């Protein structure tokens, strides 16, 4: 039931102690503000990390050769490992039931690219048709390479959106045009985009078989890439990728006579494994943010409790008169609790609104390393405020209960 007189008393008390009430509310509001901002920053870090791993397929595994650092079976250290077609074919067949997409890659070195009289400085890579799905690339015009292009060693090329903009501008459709690569014409059959951004769109893709034959690549390849089928959950996907990585690395070490503990000879990178480390780190960071935010809120609640103790002390004589006139103990408790809950609620919602508004305005424009669009779930933030209000009620209860237990005679004697 709405008690107008009680609310008038609360507002009168606040007006008489404006500075004290303001500072108490400020400590509570700052606690909620700091907690929400920290949670938003933690979500921004998680968004940034997720974005880093979205550039390539989530379940991809990448292999590239290095140099041996240890002697093994009579072979000296310092050998440079060269991956070949047979390694790619054997690994693909050996682990075929665990692979969704696969592609070798050959970097074409010292090739000159021209379009008409214009000389172009873009990288050329020989790949298979499944490379599109490993790199998370999408087609803007035409088509991507296909199996027939590889089988027939076709002289066709796919260019990135950035190359299209810089070379062909917006007025000319590049499909059907020819690029001169070291004196050999390659027909452009498609334009691709990459979720990784413009830096990934500066490449010209041609069939791996064509690259090896035309540019003296023999049977050499520079690296191999695979994607694995989707798993039931993140943990299952991590375990699947780690097992695949270990089996693939073991085969390649045996094929190239590399010591099992030589980590510099053959590199196998597993993004899922790296993602698990980052997300584990994020769990620790989020826990730290919660700890700091909750400690700040507790400090604010303690401040509310102290202020209520002061209020009870100041109103001891008034409380005694109320009890002498027949006021029940729970009526006294309710009077103190109302003021405590009111101050806590107003301060808590103020901190929530200001912090959420700041994240809403500034968050979408924040794009620094590993921090993208910091935000926080509104339901989580709102729940935190209600928990804070409950804590404020508890903080006000003990001073209120103390006031209710004051004897009438002692209260009336208080000066």
Q: What is the pLDDT of residues 50-97, one digit of tens each?
A: 665 555 556 788 999 999 998 888 888 999 999 999 998 888 787 777
Q: Which residue has the tokens 């089996």?
A: 247
Q: Measure the CA–CA gap between 9 and 59, rounded to whole angstroms.
A: 64
Average pLDDT, the chain: 80
Q: Where do the structural domains in the chain lie, given as residue ranges?
A: 4-52+277-413, 67-100+228-264, 103-221
Check: pTM over 0.85? Answer yes or no. no
Q: How confident is the model at residue 210 (pLDDT cuts 50, 70, 90)?
A: very high
- Residue 228 confidence (pLDDT) above 80: yes
**Whether 207 contacts 81, CB under 8 Å:** no
Q: Looking at mean pLDDT, say which of 7-11, 64-68, 344-348 comes out highest.
A: 64-68
Tell me: pLDDT of 2 over 70: no
Write out pLDDT tens, residues 351-409.
888 888 888 887 777 766 667 777 777 777 777 777 777 777 777 777 666 666 666 55
User: Residues 90-149: pLDDT tens digits?
Assistant: 887 877 778 888 999 999 988 899 998 889 889 999 999 999 988 888 999 999 999 999
Q: Quick check: 207 and 150 in contact, CB under 8 A?
A: yes
- Band of pLDDT at residue 151, cut at 50, 70 and 90: very high
Q: Is the pLDDT reported for residue 153 higher than 70?
A: yes
């Amino acid at each position: 039931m709405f008690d107008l007189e009680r609310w008038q008393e609360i507002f009168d008390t606040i007006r008489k102690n404006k500075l004290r009430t303001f500072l108490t509310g400020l400590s509570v509001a700052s606690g909620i503000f700091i907690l929400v901002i920290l949670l938003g920053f933690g979500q921004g870090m998680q968004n940034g990390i997720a974005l880093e791993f979205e550039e390539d397929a989530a379940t991809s595994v990448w292999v590239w050769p290095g140099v041996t650092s240890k002697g093994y079976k009579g072979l000296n250290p310092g050998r440079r490992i060269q991956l070949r077609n047979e390694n790619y074919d054997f690994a693909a067949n050996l682990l075929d039931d665990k692979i969704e997409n696969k592609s070798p890659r050959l970097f074409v070195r010292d090739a000159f690219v021209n379009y008409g009289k214009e000389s172009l400085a873009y990288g050329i890579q020989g790949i298979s048709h499944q490379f599109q799905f490993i790199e998370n690339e999408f087609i803007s015009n035409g088509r991507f390479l296909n199996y027939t292009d590889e089988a027939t060693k076709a002289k066709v090329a796919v260019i990135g959106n950035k190359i299209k903009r810089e070379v062909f501008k917006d007025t000319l459709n590049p499909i059907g045009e020819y690029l001169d690569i070291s004196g050999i014409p390659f027909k452009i059959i498609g334009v691709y985009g990459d979720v990784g951004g413009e830096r990934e769109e500066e490449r010209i893709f041609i069939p791996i078989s064509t690259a090896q034959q035309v540019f003296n690549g023999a049977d050499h390849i520079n690296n191999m890439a695979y994607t694995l089928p989707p798993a039931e959950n993140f943990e299952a996907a991590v375990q699947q990728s780690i097992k695949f990585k270990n089996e693939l690395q073991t085969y390649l070490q045996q094929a190239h006579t590399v010591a099992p503990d030589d980590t510099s000879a053959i590199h196998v990178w597993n993004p899922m494994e790296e993602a698990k480390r980052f997300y584990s780190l994020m769990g620790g960071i989020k826990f730290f943010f919660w700890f700091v935010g909750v400690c700040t809120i507790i400090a604010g609640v303690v401040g509310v409790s102290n202020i209520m103790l002061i209020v009870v002390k100041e109103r001891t004589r008034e409380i005694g008169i109320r009890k002498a006139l027949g006021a029940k103990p729970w009526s006294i408790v309710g009077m103190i609790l109302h003021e405590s809950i009111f101050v806590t609620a107003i301060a808590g919602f103020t901190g929530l609104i200001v912090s959420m508004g700041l994240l809403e305005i500034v968050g979408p424009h924040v794009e620094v390393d590993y921090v993208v669009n910091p935000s926080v779930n509104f339901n989580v933030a709102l729940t935190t405020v209600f928990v804070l209000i409950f804590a404020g009620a508890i903080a006000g209860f003990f001073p209120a209960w103390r006031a209710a237990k004051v004897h009438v005679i002692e209260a009336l004697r208080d000066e």
